[in-house]
Chains A and B, each alone.
Chain A
Amino acid sequence: MVSYLLTDNRIQEARNLLTDSGLDFDPDFDVFLGVYEHDSLIATGARSKNILKMVAVHPDHRDTGVFAEIINALITDAFRAGYEHTFVFTKPVYVQSFRYLNFSPLAQTDSVAVLEYGHSIKDYLKKWKSEVRPGKNSGLVMNCNPFTNGHRYLVETASACSDNVYLFVVEEDSSLIPFSARLNLVKKGVEDLANVHVIPTGPYAVSRITFPSYFLKDSEKVTSEQLRLDLSIFCEQIAPVFGITRRFAGQEPVCRLTAMYNEAMREILPQYGIEFTEIERKTAGGHIISASAVRRMLLAGEYDKLREMVPEATYKYLTENTGVLISKNATPVLSS
């Protein structure tokens, strides 16, 4: 029978089972479940929002239905909590076990594999396939928090030297400007560029799944592992469908995390035959234009400086929503 592990003692038992299975305990979870037999814990698993983690089965029970039982309990619990699209991070050696339970593999490196359940990246790609145009196509992945003249310059440059540009806007809603507003400002900001197609990333680029460090700071080792996962999804699944042979990004002189992302792209993209082009950053009034500078100016009320850095639509949005954005910024959960 599956039970919720609610006491420190119960969770300690689960930690022991994890340690015995060579897995690390992660304090970030919403529910922790366990399967007991004769009062001893034989399987455990946890969930944080739509991510399953810390799944371990006692070695004596590996060839029974208990693995399906614990995963089933986690998926059912996730569904009740409103998540019908779930992900699991596991070791590559367990990929097949999850496949037997109808999970589909999303990405894999030497040390970690991600699988999804309920929906799959195939559904996502099918949905956007009608946007695909033949030619020498380029891709960009941007958060645009918010869309600035710097983003505009980068997209214009890509547009001028590509048949089509696929501009993926990060869909993860963990930034100051909500996703729907960011998407809308990007669309308005590039509407005169006929070969630019704006597409939401879904959970498949720079998301809590592919690149959680972007939202919650992690060690460089963890970050570098995530970058590999994120880029393998782009290179193996997204780029082939959209015919993308070149990816553009802005140079990153300030943010270490984004600089690491660029370094990883320079190394990894060519392995898949995708060219990586880094564009020098546009400046305004002697300063590099960046979304973080724009957010700082907004919060400091420096509207004159801000106006030089963003298109009209972004300026209008920011000035009309200043109150909401400032109060949202005051809550500590938000980053990037």
Chain B
Amino acid sequence: MKIEKKAQAGTMQSSDLMVFTEPADTLDIQIDSTVAKQYGHLIQAKVEEVLNRMNVTAGIIRIKDRGALDYAIDARVQAAVLRSQEA
């Protein structure tokens, strides 16, 4: 599946994250997190896991994280990807 359009999910509240999607030829994950130093690699792994599960092969996934737990990351990424598919 490819990111078809710009979409957004999540909020800027503490312990949440904002996910933006944008169409692109290749898959590009950009993570900006207030806890990047400690947990950046885990956020990256979680995002990749969700994208793999949903077979996302192309698009820009831009994450603005404020210390979200992994199930929140899972839900927000999934919501943004699904919204990027709506007509």
**Cα distance, A246 to B13, chains bound together (Å):** 44
**CB under 8 Å from chain B, chain A span 73-119:** 75-76, 79, 84, 100-102, 104, 117-118
Give the contacting residue for A72; candidates B12, B22, B33, B65; CB below 8 A: B12
Among the 9-residue stretches A63-71, A160-168, A306-314, the one with 4 or more Cβ atoms under 8 Å from chain B is A63-71
Question: Are the C-beta atoms of A69 and B64 separated by less than 8 Å?
Answer: no
Is B46 in contact with chain A by the CB < 8 A criterion?
no
**CB under 8 Å from chain A, chain B span 1-46:** 6, 8, 11-14, 18, 20, 22, 32-34
Give 1 or 0 for each of B51-69: 1 = CB within 8 Å of chain A CB. Answer: 0000000000010111000
Contacts of B65 in A (CB 8 A): 102
Question: Are the C-beta atoms of B20 and A118 separated by less than 8 Å?
Answer: yes
Q: Nearest Cβ distance between residue A62 and chain B, in whole angstroms? A: 15
**Cα distance, A109 to B3, chains bound together (Å):** 40
Q: Nearest Cβ distance between residue A140 and chain B, in whole angstroms? A: 31
Q: Nearest Cβ distance between residue A85 and chain B, in whole angstroms? A: 10
Give the contacting residue for A101; candidates B8, B12, B20; CB below 8 A: B12
Q: How large, as a class, is the contact surface on chain A?
A: 10 to 19
**Cα distance, A69 to B66, chains bound together (Å):** 13
Question: Are the C-beta atoms of B6 and A102 separated by less than 8 Å?
Answer: no
Q: Nearest Cβ distance between residue B28 and chain A, in whole angstroms? A: 11
Question: Are the C-beta atoms of B6 and A84 separated by less than 8 Å?
Answer: yes
**Cα distance, A57 to B8, chains bound together (Å):** 26
Please name the residue on chain A nearest to B64 by beta carbon: A102
Question: Are the C-beta atoms of B8 and A72 separated by less than 8 Å?
Answer: no
**Cα distance, A72 to B8, chains bound together (Å):** 12
Give 1 or 0 for each of A209-246: 1 = CB within 8 Å of chain B CB. Answer: 00000000000000000000000000000000000000
**Cα distance, A104 to B34, chains bound together (Å):** 11
Give the contacting residue for B66; candidates A75, A102, A104, A118; CB below 8 A: A102
Contacts of A68 in B (CB 8 A): 11-14, 66
Contacts of B12 in A (CB 8 A): 68, 71-72, 75, 101-102
Q: If the complex has contacts A79-B20, A118-B20, are A101 and B11 also in contact, measured as CB distance less than 8 A? A: no
Please name the residue on chain A nearest to B7 by beta carbon: A79
